[in-house]
Structure 1
């Protein structure tokens, strides 16, 4: 987008605020919405003038005077930037610096320098990647840490000067104008900076993905590769979402790792319905990719996500039940069926496999787990009880007869602990219709 470092700001009678500078980045047109950085103030181009004539549009590289609407003179000054968006403020920039052959001394790690770029100049601390120093005539990668917010764009040139005595030490190119501060030994960030310096889109995407544990932001690649957001993806890169990218090979590797991990889980614990989602975060160093790989596997039908558990679609825990486990499952189910609308607390079934067997029956729909929010606990009914309860209520309160929760409790011979979640479940199924403190059986359910 357009990027105009302001070198003068003044007012003209009848026109308001005017700024001048050399336009960088992209073209600028009358009516364009702009942001003043680093303040973040919004403004609009009221008029443009270049080469002594009014213009509707000015190309990058030209000297321009911009008449701004909605901004007071005291809110803009030399060193500010007006831009069309995308250039956010920062306290840290990645740079490639080249130390002058005539520099009086080396540039050192943690040295405070005055940085000049555009029409701005600010003091920053230079952190050299790898530490140490760069001798006159040498070059290297570093981060500039500023004391207050600044703005720049990738590819913009800068000059680094010694504070005292004043001397020009190096030239620099901004690689990332919105960098993340890292330690001087951060190898992943160093790889990103090297790829940005070489302007290798494929290497840059790979380095960003490695830094993000398999995932990178498309906006980061666009900024560092100095390309447009509509640019084609580099070779071997896939779009995970409008905002995220990854390497195709990494995505395939993580999908394979997820499937293998689930297979191991099912082999080790065959009667469990599935594994906790947190387990998948441990199956690969590329953990940023796990949620996306999981989504792709679910979309492809290879993996199933249910009640916070993940499993292979082909896994059948019932087929894995040993005869004694199957007998125990039947015993628990019959006990829950016999309990009717006052079933036993499932926590009383505490043999080694009982929790898994109950979870299997809930997942299959043979048992129904409902929340009693007031008591902050789950109550579990046999699925046959739900239908029996509805039929009993329909017989006691044929529509349009209204009934209260208390009347339903009496009719079903149960307690408030059970009747409240049971009635709320019947409401959700459309079997009962609630109106304030009363309900009636839905006509179609009678």
Structure 2
């Protein structure tokens, strides 16, 4: 890896800060109170460059039980952990609690560092090492190497650095393909720069000039400057410790636990679906609706536990549950979390997020439990399919990547499997690839067919239903791209046709029945008896005996070229309009211009009809008014 975050963990006064200083030359205890009390209270950070050029950011966490929140904030971004145990005291209460947290957060790469080697005999050191092996046997650090060092004499420090380099070489890097997520763990103000926050970049990339959103409050900001361990940079990638100089936001608006992300990526929620595991060391079962402290990323909040398939969860058990969170929280699928008792505070469990913005569930519902099981352990194909059939209907590939937390390779592999089994439809709309489940598409198609059939029955003279009407009636929450993709898929399937801005069943043909044909004949007769002085349209409607169908018939006759609307109430037959154009055009070609009075005489009409007709001809650019005359356009 080019860059990795290594964190410390362990009981108070076991030498974590001294170890970090021996490795890096930097004292991470920066606060006055830390100096006075001789213990770490806040997170400390120090850079280290190994002999192979690897840049390491070391996070030094407090060991005192009162500062577990700070410790959790530090562990959240670790790639590799150094579990520090003092040789003269061996495993202590906070050693075990920190180890539980490491296990719950699945920090799988680590080294056990036994410090203060110079204070004990060799035989005692052997006993401590055996005890450590027993303690880590059932945890993620079961295969972690154990090394004894003395930060005071320097014994073992070179070997520790070599071991760090070796472990880092096999530590998988954080993915840079995802979207920006940066949990805030510190904030401060710098003279001349303003508001600065720090954190370990969980995903994606952050650049100078980026517009960002600070969640869950939804604050808008801009990245003014960036630093990675004191070096000014233009961008930073997942896995790096970053200091971000933010514009347009006040220091008082920020706090540990917030998340910097791209606008619109995360949704604050009061409900999260999770798989919860209770530690075997938990003192008692956790009952339904118990109030707990929830730690996710660098955030701490209170939540009620809604157990979905039982009344209590016993130590050592796992189950699906929904956290009912007292303050809005943001997260993403596969994020790890820790829970502690409300009071007194002890770490009792943790687990993994399944849905960070979940709907409310009723308990003991097999369908809910099956859905959560799929989202927890399903293959990429199963996860994608579940997303498509549970109300998402049509989603883009980037949306799937964000919601499921899958890599692009996994998504493409999953889609290929589903496509091979004819279970999904793929469409490209305006350069964006979207996907829909075949069975969902079929259901929506059946509903749309029925809607169009009813429309054609009520409006047999219309070409089809306006696109926007179909979208608003069937897909009110869809954006234009989604709806157009659905129409394209439907057209490709052959059951609809799209004519300009209207949609019709492919089998539909506009056809006037005998009664309508009779009425249209009567309309033409009324208008052509005196073609240049026709009755106004309301009078035509009255004489022919039309009702609600009048507007439909008029629109149809205009569309097929039988009539032309000249003004709101004045309609000419197409034959009369063409004849008027012929006469006026011929007159202007002979005389050069024509006046309103001359048109009136030419057509044997009156000003009431001639003026709207000439304005119509001006509008369609047949004639052009010059003072009180008309010329050909």
TM-score (norm. length: structure 1):
0.71
Tell me the distance in 2 between the aligned counterparts of 1:29 and 1:271. Answer: 57
Flag the 1:166–1:39 CA change in 2: closer, same or farther, 3 A.
same
Kindly provide the CA deviation profile for residues 365-386 of structure 1, in whole angstroms up to 9, marking residues without a partner as x: 21234663xxxxx654322233
Flag the 1:215–1:280 CA change in 2: closer, same or farther, 3 A.
same
Tell me the distance in 2 between the aligned counterparts of 1:443 and 1:250. Answer: 57
Q: How many pairs are equivalent?
A: 425
Kindly provide the CA deviation profile for residues 40-96 of structure 1, in whole angstroms up to 9, marking residues without a partner as x: 24232634234x87777655345x251515365444332223335554351345331
> What are structure 1's unaligned runs of at least 5 residues?
373-377
> What are structure 2's unaligned runs of at least 5 residues?
1-178, 419-423
Ranked by relative contact order (alpha carbons within 8 Å, sequence separation 6 or more), the top structure is 1
Q: Does 1:350 align with 2:545?
A: yes
Kindly provide the CA deviation profile for residues 252-285 of structure 1, in whole angstroms up to 9, marking residues without a partner as x: 665577568757876x789544565699789999
Flag the 1:82–1:396 CA change in 2: closer, same or farther, 3 A.
same
Tell me the distance in 1 between the aligned counterparts of 2:579 and 2:214. Answer: 69
SS of residue paired to 1:239: strand
1:114 aligned residue (293, 300, 304): 293
Q: Does 1:362 align with 2:558?
A: yes
Tell me the distance in 2 between the aligned counterparts of 1:13 and 1:325. Answer: 82
Aligned residue for 2:624?
433
Aligned residue for 1:206?
385
Aligned residue for 1:387?
578
Q: Map of 1:6-405 to 2, 5 A cutoff? A: 6-12=184-190, 17-28=195-206, 34-37=212-215, 38-44=217-223, 46-50=225-229, 59-62=237-240, 64-68=241-245, 70=247, 73-85=251-263, 87-100=265-278, 101=280, 102=282, 104-108=284-288, 112-126=291-305, 133-136=311-314, 137-142=317-322, 144-148=324-328, 150-177=329-356, 179=357, 181-184=359-362, 193-198=372-377, 200-212=379-391, 214-216=393-395, 218-227=397-406, 232=412, 234=415, 235=418, 236-239=424-427, 241=429, 242=432, 245-248=435-438, 250-251=440-441, 254-255=444-445, 258=448, 272-273=461-462, 276=465, 292-297=485-490, 303-304=496-497, 310-313=503-506, 315-318=508-511, 321-322=513-514, 326-338=517-529, 340=531, 341-343=533-535, 344-345=537-538, 346-348=540-542, 349-350=544-545, 355=550, 358-369=554-565, 372=568, 379-391=570-582, 400=593
| CA drift at 1:347 | 3.0
Flag the 1:56–1:432 CA change in 2: closer, same or farther, 3 A.
closer
CA contact (8 A) 1:158 1:174 kept: yes
Kindly provide the CA deviation profile for residues 400-440 of structure 1, in whole angstroms up to 9, marking residues without a partner as x: 55659x989x9742637x954x55543332123368xx675
Tell me the distance in 2 between the aligned counterparts of 1:275 and 1:188. Answer: 40
CA contact (8 A) 1:26 1:60 kept: yes
CA contact (8 A) 1:33 1:45 kept: no
What RMSD in Å do the two structures reach over aligned CA positions?
4.9
CA contact (8 A) 1:93 1:174 kept: no
- Structure with the bigger percentage of strand: 1
CA contact (8 A) 2:596 2:611 kept: no
CA contact (8 A) 2:336 2:352 kept: yes
Tell me the distance in 2 between the aligned counterparts of 1:84 and 1:276. Answer: 38
Flag the 1:295–1:423 CA change in 2: closer, same or farther, 3 A.
farther
Flag the 1:284–1:219 CA change in 2: closer, same or farther, 3 A.
same
Tell me the distance in 2 between the aligned counterparts of 1:371 and 1:122. Answer: 67
Flag the 1:189–1:215 CA change in 2: closer, same or farther, 3 A.
farther
Tell me the distance in 2 between the aligned counterparts of 1:105 and 1:118. Answer: 25
| CA drift at 1:220 | 4.0
Tell me the distance in 2 between the aligned counterparts of 1:31 and 1:354. Answer: 59
CA contact (8 A) 1:99 1:134 kept: no
Kindly provide the CA deviation profile for residues 298-354 of structure 1, in whole angstroms up to 9, marking residues without a partner as x: 688864556986434554444x744x6544432332223335343342532336896
CA contact (8 A) 1:10 1:73 kept: yes
Tell me the distance in 2 between the aligned counterparts of 1:212 and 1:78. Answer: 34
Tell me the distance in 1 between the aligned counterparts of 2:371 and 2:631. Answer: 63
| CA drift at 1:364 | 1.1
Flag the 1:86–1:294 CA change in 2: closer, same or farther, 3 A.
closer
| CA drift at 1:228 | 6.0
Tell me the distance in 2 between the aligned counterparts of 1:433 and 1:403. Answer: 12
Tell me the distance in 2 between the aligned counterparts of 1:35 and 1:134. Answer: 38
Tell me the distance in 2 between the aligned counterparts of 1:82 and 1:295. Answer: 37
Aligned residue for 1:375?
none
| CA drift at 1:392 | 5.7
Tell me the distance in 2 between the aligned counterparts of 1:82 and 1:392. Answer: 73
